[in-house]
Structure formats: C-alpha cells, structure tokens
Amino acid sequence: MIQRLSALAAALAAIALGFAFSAGPAAAQQNAALVALGAQIWKDTLPCRNCHGSFGDGVQDIAQEPQGANFRISGLDPETMEMIIRCGLPGTEMPYFDGRAYTDDRCYGMTAAAAGDSIPPTGTPPMSPRQFQAVVAFIFENFVGKGPATREECLAFWGPEASTCGRFPPASEVAAPAAP
Ligand code: HEC
C-alpha cells in the first residue's frame, strides 16, 4: 500500500514537473480532423468506453469492467490527460496505451522495476502518437465541461434505432452547464 501510494505521489510530481517545463499551447490541437479520427477510434478501436462509458460519464458500457473516471467533470488539461492515457495511473485499473511505457523513463520517470506492483495494466491496442492526440481532442470536444449526456447525443452516436438511449434525458430537460 505504501509502495502504491508513493508511486502515485511520484507520478503526480512528474505531472507537476511537466507543467512547469511545458511551453506553448496544449498538445492536443483540437481541429476537426483529429476530433473525427478520435470519434472513430473511440467507437470502433479503443476499449475506453468499456470502463468510461460511450459518453464519457463514468457509466461503464460493460458493467463488469472497472468504473472509469467521468470526463464530463474532469479538471485535467489536455497534456495531463494525454500523459495518463499513455502511461495509465499507477496503482489503479487505468491501463497504459503507450507500447513502450515503463520500458524506459517516459512514464513518470519510472521503469517497470521502479513501478513494481503499482504498474498499471497494459492497454490494448497500443496507440500511435496521432491516436493519443485524436482521442484527447475528441474527449475535450465532446465530454469535458459539457454537462450531463443527452438523448440526442446518444442517438447521434448509436443511430436512431438505439434502444439504450432512453436512459438519457432529452437536451431540453438538461440544465445548461454554468458558464466558466
Ligand atoms: C479497464 C478499465 C479502463 C479502461 C479500458 C480505460 N480506463 Fe481510463 N480510467 C479507468 C479508471 C478506473 C480510472 C480512474 C483511476 C483512479 O483515479 O482511481 C481511469 C482514469 C482515466 C483518466 C483520468 C481522468 C481524471 O479526470 O482523473 C483518463 C484521462 C482516462 N482514464 C482515459 C482513458 C482513455 C482515453 C482510455 C482508452 C484509450 C481509457 N481511459 C481506458 C479505467 C479504464
């Protein structure tokens, strides 16, 4: 447990260092092509929604999977989010999707040996640099700060026949998120 916590502390310190030294705009350029690629891999290729839900609200698509974070209320910036997707979250069920994570110091400065028992699960498929950017752009475009998921969003994603969309309220019944 102590090892787990100290690994997490090291991870957070590495994230904070990343902030201090990063310059310029957010890594995720939120242009339409990236968002479109992100949407496609979110739906067809990546396992994220098994745990985070198709609409990023932390309600798993597969109930038996670990419950992922709710992106709609996430306070992460795009760079930190990308790092977490690359490296996972040590000591939790959040997998890493960089195929070379923990083989060198790219993830929170830790190799597998240093991470020990706290090493996150291996995410499959491993993702390319462009896929990391795309999925982050997609998550920010569609989920972060967007308020609760709506029926319209669900129907747009799954198509007009989707019976599962009944659990979401129509947009007209959802209060608009407070302006930042
Ligand atoms: C096996 C389940 C699982 C899968 C698959 C998964 N996650 Fe996660 N994810 C989690 C869990 C659990 C957490 C929360 C960890 C904690 O803080 O305890 C998490 C946390 C996160 C966070 C941090 C969010 C925050 O606001 O703190 C991000 C970002 C994230 N996941 C993105 C992704 C993306 C993108 C994918 C797909 C490429 C993905 N996850 C796949 C389980 C999963």
**Does residue 164 share a domain with residue 130?**
no
* Residues whose beta carbon lies within 6 Å of some atom of ligand 1: 46-48, 50-52, 65-66, 68-69, 74, 76, 81, 84-85, 89, 92-95, 97, 135
The residue with greater pLDDT, 105 or 12, is 105
Q: Phi and psi dihedrals of 83, rounded to 5?
A: -60, -40
**Structural domain that includes position 9:** 2-19+26-144
Q: Can you tell me whether residue 58 is helix, strand or coil? A: coil
**Does residue 107 share a domain with residue 97?**
yes
Q: Based on the structure, what is the number of domains in the chain?
A: 2
Q: How far is CA 99 from the centre of its chain?
A: 17
**Does residue 105 share a domain with residue 150?**
no
Q: Is residue 10 part of a domain?
A: yes
Query: What predicted TM-score, i.e. pTM, was given to this entire model?
Result: 0.83
User: Residue 20 — very low, low, confident or very high, per pLDDT cuts 50/70/90?
Assistant: very low
**How far apart, in whole angstroms, are the C-alpha atoms of residue 6 and residue 113?**
14
**Does residue 153 share a domain with residue 99?**
no
39 CB-contact burial (10 Å; exposed 0-12 / middle 13-18 / buried 19+): middle
* Least reliable range by pLDDT among 19-23, 93-97, 101-105: 19-23
* Residue in the block written with tokens 């932390």: 58
